[in-house]
Chain A
Amino acid sequence: MKNIVVFGYNRISFEAISHLDQSTHDILIVETDLSQAALAEDKGFNITSIDFRSDEALKSIGIGSHIDIMFCFLPEDSQNVFLTISARAIAPSLDIIAIVEDPQSAEKLIAAGANKIIDPYQICGQKIYELIKKPDITNIIDHTVFGRHDLHVAEVVIPENSYLEDTYTSGLTLSDDHNLVLIGVVDKELDDDLHFAIGEKDHKLDAGDIMVVLGPSREIKAFKKEVAHVSTDKI
């Protein structure tokens, strides 16, 4: 169970929340605007109205204790920066995701301690541009990433004692055996970055490394199971 707090109830937060599995995520919305709060309440979300400028209030909803992830979806960039700074001071390991209105604020948010910045306008502009330049690719991404079909991008963490341990990415035959396409690997031996699997470098897989695969959800599930299952056989 992951505890998530969402600051600001608007279209982005609504989309984000509805794409999260409610059974495995405990979501709390913070909204001071009464009409917006009423809308969220109608949908059956947990909602509270605290003053995000007060550290005590932040602590009272669990930042610094049980909250794992925080979404800063407040309407003003300055509010998001302030919230990020306050939360980061209280909870050094909190995952903070913020949206940004003005591209100049992105650096400020990163400096304030946000883990991830999402610029909706930039992504939208990019998507429209791609629709013009590469309509086929955009359609594919729509169907895979934005899941109108059964194709998904998923990450598979290699557990300890998995049969994949100590194997090389070049030796993987995911596309033949599992009907999956390997997009990239995070090789913890090197760093935490994602290395795209385009045959540039051979990575040795260890426990804790993460593979990013693309494929039908059934096959992804089966593959995850297999990765975990074989490990128990080994013991």
Chain B
Amino acid sequence: MKSYFDVFMICLVMLSVFFLVYNVEHELSEIGEFFEQGVVFVFISEYLLRAWLYSNSHRIIIHEYEKAEYLNAKFNLFNTLKIVIAKKLEYMVSLFAIIDLLAILPSYRPLRILRILLIFRLFKLFRYSNSIKVFADVLSSKRFELITLAIFMGFLVFISSIAIYLFENNSSGGNIEDLYDAFYWSIVTISTVGYGDITPQTIGGRLVTVTLILTGLGVLSFFTSIIVAAFNDKMHVLRENRTYAELSRYKSFIIICGFGRVGQEIARQFETDKQPFIVIDRSEHNIFLAKQKHYLSIQDDASNNAVLLNAGINRGATAVLCTTGNDVTNVYVTLTSRHLNPAIQIISRANRQDNVNKLYQAGANSVIQPFEIAGLLAAEYVGQPVAFEAILGILQEQKQIQMETVVVQADSLLTRMKIGDIGFKERKLTLVGVISSNKMHQKHHNRYRVKNQHFYFNPTNHFELQAQDILVVLGREYSIEHFQDQIEKSRLLGGKK
């Protein structure tokens, strides 16, 4: 919302400046006049609104009144109003407020000199752009160096102005008329610009010039190096801000804490899936890897509240994945995330069996143990190599065979249908079971409790599907998609009736 307003204001400023510049030599048409008045109206309302929002006068008055009542003192309206006005004045003397005010003035026709204030209308543009704020930040971080430099330059200009005036005044045969000329010449020379409109004629004047040019070079390079160093220092923050700005474009994303092998694997899957995510890792090397792949990433400590908040744990993140190889870190990040957002899904990796319960205690929704799974698979391979192949195939979605869920929508053809009538064989699908929390199914056998639902393995042909049941089927990607499409279509047709 704010960005739309900013763009609108920038357009308005540009247009109004264009009209005013045109007005310098031409007469404005009636529409132009009308437009100018409209712009001024918008500017004035903006100024007043900002002044009004700057402080809450209402609250100040109530606060003062309550204070007076509590202290049994007499409520002094005059003093309270003084506080209110002081607050408003505080706004009015702030830099941006002054610029805003000056930007309104050029429209005042009778005083043509106010035209010059048109420039302020352009300054107003800075208000709507972030880059100037960043620049000001960078400069203010080097305040000490800049002030030192400014004082030094002030002395230099002062000395050289006096010196050149002494050597090059009109009576000495030079062409410096007065001290203002000398000052102008000093600045032109010290900056190494050197227009050449005023040139030294005497030997003394030339010596002053040579000295000033040489010191000018030094001052300039010093100034440049300060600015470069300041930007270098802030680069990290600037990049991070860029990452956050890009992240804020996504409505929902996932935070991956730890970009080791597991994190990389997840990121790779998300990338092919076009699922937005952000990587947080402390290691420079891991962040370098993430940056190489153009993933959004922050090099920071994920157990730090501020880092997770900045990464949007309360603003769009749907899940936090703790995937580092260190269980202590995983527990800490899990705990921090749960504390910051009680509703978010947290999946954590446990490298040791004894830490699984700690992770659940810290607030993880699911815990994955990579070494346990690997060991299990290895054991499976010993007894049943083919079954192992099947499991691995399904786990890793090899050969495009997937296990997938199909939800029975309330108004689709599947509702109240019997399993035997669906014809999974013709659809080239294998039904593994049905997940449901519906109490109607509880008479059926093969019931397994899975979290707060039941999994009905291999339901019989007369198992009647209910709305919100979930079918678990095995098949090729496209057969499953086709089946889902058909259900969706039947739902749309059903909805029309």
Contacts and interface: CB of A to CB of B under 8 A. Distances in A.
Contacts of B213: none
Interface string A118-129: 101111111111
10 contacts: A16-B374, A20-B379, A121-B262, A123-B395, A179-B457, A179-B458, A196-B399, A199-B425, A200-B476, A216-B457
A136 interface: yes
Nearest to A21: B383
Interface in B388-402: 388-391, 393-396, 399, 401
A90 B171 CA distance: 107
A136 B437 CA distance: 13
Nearest to B480: A198
Nearest to A170: B425
A30 interface: no
Interface of A: 2, 4, 10-21, 25, 69, 71, 95, 97, 99, 101-102, 116, 118, 120-129, 131-134, 136-137, 139-141, 143, 145-146, 149-151, 153-155, 170, 175-176, 179-184, 186, 194, 196-200, 210, 212, 214-216
Interface stretch (B129-137, B283-291, B331-339, B344-352): B344-352
B273 interface: yes
A2 B261 contact: no
B212 interface: no
B80 interface: no
Contacts of B425: 170, 199
- Top 9 closest A-B pairs, CB basis? A15-B375, A125-B265, A124-B370, A121-B261, A19-B379, A120-B374, A11-B371, A16-B375, A16-B378
Interface stretch (B36-44, B48-56, B174-182, B443-451): B443-451
A179 B433 CA distance: 11
Contacts of B161: none
A8 to B, nearest CB: 12
Interface residues of B, number: 83
A153 B457 contact: no
Contacts of B373: 120, 123-124, 127, 146
Nearest to A132: B319
B450 A139 contact: yes
Given A126-B396, A128-B323, A129-B270, A212 B375 contact: no
B455 A133 contact: no
B426 A133 contact: no
Contact of A194 (B351, B386, B435): B386
Interface in B187-236: none
B376 A11 contact: no
A124 B458 contact: no
Given A126-B396, A216-B446, 14 more contacts: A2-B382, A123-B374, A124-B323, A125-B262, A127-B368, A128-B262, A137-B404, A143-B448, A143-B450, A186-B386, A196-B401, A198-B429, A199-B427, A210-B386
A201 B351 CA distance: 42
A146 B372 CA distance: 10
A13 to B, nearest CB: 7
A14 B371 CA distance: 9
A139 B451 contact: yes
A181 B430 contact: yes
B386 A155 contact: yes
Interface in B337-363: 345, 347, 349, 351-353
B481 to A, nearest CB: 14
Contacts of B455: 139-140, 143
B384 A155 contact: yes
A178 B376 CA distance: 27
A102 B264 CA distance: 12
A89 B401 CA distance: 35
A145 B368 CA distance: 14
Interface stretch (B162-170, B303-311, B467-475, B486-494): B467-475
Contacts of B61: none
